[in-house]
Structure 1
């Protein structure tokens, strides 16, 4: 039976049938509005993309791939960008990989903005295994090439013209999409208490990148201060002044720290042990000479005849 669909200027209106459920046994019709993606500022993917409005709230990338690849037998979908789901940019993903996985390898120093973007992408483990969208959400479907996009658009127009009945999500294996209903909330309840190792890994990554962001900011500020301004002047900065007392205390602390560092290293080399033994021997001889001299002086005082 041909389904009459409302016309929207500039869009192809594709009717979808929602399958009946035990809770709501009556079938329902949902309409997708599809047109080529024509952003105000074109990007490299806009020529091979379709703009879809009014996606169902339970839409996933698997649903979109199944719709165009299986149910419409059209082009191959490369990616799907939903309105309310943030996507990683290529530069950010590359920065994340280079900063978190290859820190020890020699690479070009990342800027503070790149590191900040990486920091924004580090999150704690998700507690929901599936995103539900708000009603009327739009999505951008990027195809493998322009030919796939055009073939998909023609397939949509053909299905609309024939009034084909397309059941939303029909034919998708259950293990391909996270379940809804009570199972969704059971999974959410378990995910609220992630493993300690996962939380620790996310926190460590965040703190590491945060430290790198701080260092990068300091380097950039130092570099900017060292550059002449428009008038050719260089800003000279200095730290807090120390008075004589504070300076003396600082030097004392420095000497004490140096002494502590040197503890246990006196006999590190063999020649140091020999010199230490010689010094000790000379000290004993000196003390022996002084004691001998004192003893002779005592004897001389005792041997003197005192007048009566």
Structure 2
């Protein structure tokens, strides 16, 4: 009887055993494929040497289950993080996505009075605004992949050697997630948790609604300030934007002309600071300078000719 192959191309074939369940009382084999992670772009400063690429993951695989697999059954090597290929993952809630978006918006184009103050407020508001989740975990697609980031290079290499050794010796590796029904992302328990999460407490919903209304009011105040600025500041052509405004009407004509004059002065000063950039501007300026010199020369010639005529016309008086 031939032994099963422990490699497939660059991959190490690691057989996993799914224990029997009441719904399916028979153990099932499942192959997990591992190899060193090769990034698409070579970066000498990257830490990809301490990562492994795994594919054909079980649909109930989570970061916790993968940590258990390497820690308890494959040499005790520790994982630093797990990056799944799916965007929607267990533990990546909508609040996490909104928090990262709010963190990016809070630091963009704002002067913070105190380091971290704006970030913390924006992130907290985004988390409160998010409605409670109804699904605690989302199963993977069949044949999904992930990148396992270990704590160091030695741990990544040791984990790959442990997988080869277990595959070669045909050591039975039990899939720990299926052995713990309280952490399983499939089955009846998952739908029970979904049923309970579909009816969150009233105070949780009220907190989310209040946070959303507070955020909406702050945005409306910002829009009103922008409309007020548009009503009172004319554009470059001297026109005032017609906006919907309460008691504050559009700016007076005198104020509009003064504001337009200031805009023109700023534009003229900026143009003088920049100077002539293009070659045709230099040519035009040189032609204009030559034309002015010719005009001045002709005027000087006429003045000299007039002085000569006046000198010849003057006759000395005889005494």
C-alpha RMSD over aligned residues: 4.6
Q: TM-score, normalised by structure 1?
A: 0.57
Q: Normalising by structure 2, report the TM-score.
A: 0.56
**Mapped partners of 1:67, 1:17: distance in 2:** 12
**In 2, distance between residues paired with 1:236 and 1:187?**
63
| CA 1:7–1:197: 2 relative to 1, 3 Å | same
- Cα distance change, pair 62–202 in 1 and its aligned pair in 2 (3 A): same
**CA distance, structure 2, for counterparts of residue 187 and residue 137 of structure 1:** 24
| Number of residue-to-residue matches in the alignment | 227
Residue matched to 1:73: 75
Aligned 1:90-101 pairs, distance under 5 A = 92=100, 95=103
The one of 193, 200, 206 equivalent to 2:199 is 193
Cα distance in 1, alignment partners of residues 225 and 76 from structure 2: 52
Considering Cα pairs closer than 8 Å and 6+ residues apart, tell me whether 1 or 2 has the greater RCO.
Answer: 1
User: How far has the Cα of 1:37 moved from its partner?
Assistant: 1.6
Distance 2:78 2:163 in 1: 14
**Could you say what secondary structure the match of 2:35 adopts?**
strand
Matches of 1:241 and 1:23 in 2, distance apart?
67
Deviation at 1:173, TM superposition (A): 5.1
| Structure 1 residue 7: Cα displacement | 4.1
1:179-231 CA distance string (max 9 Å, x none): 642222122111111122323334445565677788999999xxxxxxxxxxx
Take 1:25 and 1:187, find their aligned partners in 2: how far apart are those partners? Answer: 24
Unaligned runs of at least 5 residues, structure 1: 221-233, 253-308
The answer to whether the aligner puts 1:147 opposite 2:154 as a matched pair is yes
User: C-alpha separation between the residues in 1 aligned to 2:243 and 2:133?
Assistant: 49
Change in 2 beyond 3 A, CA 1:94/1:11: farther
Matches of 2:186 and 2:26, distance apart in 1? 19
- What are the ranges of 5 or more consecutive residues in structure 2 without an aligned counterpart? 227-235, 250-319
Cα deviation for residue 155 of structure 1 reads: 0.9
- TM alignment of 1:152-171, pairs within 5 A: 152-169=159-176
SS in 1 for 2:196: helix
